[in-house]
Amino acid sequence: MELYDKEELCFPQLLNTSCKKPTLQGPDVVLLNIVLSIVSFFTAALNLLVIISVSHFRQLHTPTNILLLSLAVSDFLVGLLLMPLEIYKKITCWGNIMCFLYGFLIAHIVSASIGTIVLISADRYVAICHPLHYPVKITMTKVKCCVCLCWISNAFYRILFFKDELFQPGRSNSCIGQCAFVTHYLAQLVDFTLNFIVPITVIVFLYLRVFVVAVSQARTMHSHIAAVKSNHSVNFKKKSELKAARTLGILVIVYLICFCPYYCYSLVQVKVTSTSYAPFLVFLFYFNSCLNPLIYALFYPWFRKAVKLILTLQILQPGSREANIL
């Protein structure tokens, strides 16, 4: 009983089954939470600017930008929900329902983000490798349907994956107040394959094809640099597509750099959240959501112009939806 007097428990009345209450220990933990809070704010704010830009300005209503909008929504939710909940998890006890919602949100938002990255890769593949068929194969209606299907199917899949926790909340917890998820090895292997191996394989394959064709097209454009003016619009369109492919290629590479360490480390039979590497892996995992809008700002002039119009409140003026920002 003397042990319990020295430790602050989540539920003191349940001495034999209550977890030790989390406490902020050491300057490194406090610093990590401060940094995570700052990153959380900027992640939500920057991605909100992307969402407003693509949603408001009619010129940005293109299939590719709809996919960027879907990615921005997932990144916005990371900054608005997942990062604050990660901080909350470190300083307080958890209830079973809250713990289930936290696990479901992480899995669903990340899976939807991965699915969107795959769709972006497919979009660039068709645009670069089959440009004549792009207007027919990739339409606004088809892209919107694919995005909705991506989010809805991932939600159903995650409900099935967490069905045991849904019907028996807290079954994985060793004590009351803990938030842990323990799944069967086979289920973990299937989930790892569907949400990492298969998407990464598809993404890498499509972008290798895009890279080969893009290099070929770039050489062709350089060899016809003195083409007649009648071909100027065609060459301009090719340059635009190649630039978009390059920008989105950087987006995919940054995604791989941020996500691969976490997934690869989780492949070994070690609980990632209980290791000394956990803070860095989780921070890198979430930091990708903050980097994406910064990539847009660096490589997309329309995004910088749209942000200027938003921050100066010019989008509140009549007819601002029709503004020329391209």
Mean pLDDT along residues 16-34: 74
Classify each residue of 187-219 as buried b or exposed e, where b means 16 or more C-beta atoms within 10 Å of its C-beta. Answer: eeeebeeebbeebbeebeebbeebeebbeebee
Q: What is the pLDDT of residues 77-113, one digit of tens each?
A: 999 998 888 888 777 888 778 888 888 898 899 889 9
pTM: 0.84
pLDDT at 229: 46
Q: Is the pLDDT at 72 greater than 90, yes or no?
A: yes
pLDDT at 267: 64
Q: Is the pLDDT at 15 greater than 80, yes or no?
A: no
Q: Is the pLDDT at 55 greater than 90, yes or no?
A: yes
Q: Is the pLDDT at 144 greater than 90, yes or no?
A: yes
Structure tokens at 84: 């604050």
Mean pLDDT along residues 208-228: 67
Per-residue pLDDT band at 1 (split at 50, 70, 90)? very low
Nearest CA-CA partner of 127 in 249, 247, 238, 253: 238
Assigned CATH topology for domain 27-171+181-223+232-322? Rhopdopsin 7-helix transmembrane proteins (1.20.1070)
Rounded to 10°, the helix 63-77/278-299 angle is: 150
Q: Is the pLDDT at 20 greater than 90, yes or no?
A: no
- Per the prediction, the chain carries an average pLDDT of 80
Q: Is the pLDDT at 196 greater than 80, yes or no?
A: yes
pLDDT at 4: 44
Per-residue pLDDT band at 179 (split at 50, 70, 90)? confident
Q: What is the pLDDT of residues 148-169, one digit of tens each?
A: 999 999 999 888 888 777 777 7
Q: What is the pLDDT of residues 296-310, one digit of tens each?
A: 877 888 888 999 999
Residue 38 carries which side chain, given as an amino acid letter? I
Q: What is the pLDDT of residues 105-143, one digit of tens each?
A: 988 998 899 899 899 889 988 988 888 889 999 999 999
Let me know: does 83 contact 40? Beta carbons within 8 Å.
yes
Q: What is the pLDDT of residues 234-285, one digit of tens each?
A: 455 555 656 666 777 787 788 888 877 777 776 664 454 545 566 677 778 7
pLDDT at 220: 67
Handedness of CA 107, 109, 112, 114 (dihedral sign): negative
Structure tokens at 27: 């300057």
Classify each residue of 5-14 as buried b or exposed e, where b means 16 or more C-beta atoms within 10 Å of its C-beta. Answer: eeeebbeeee
Mean pLDDT along residues 35-44: 89
Q: What angle do CA 114, 32, 4 make, to 5 degrees?
A: 110
pLDDT at 145: 96
Contacts of 58 (CB under 8 A, 6+ apart): 321, 322
Helices (H), 61-197: 63-77, 83-91, 96-129, 134-137, 140-161, 163-167, 185-192
Mean pLDDT along residues 170-191: 74
pLDDT at 99: 83
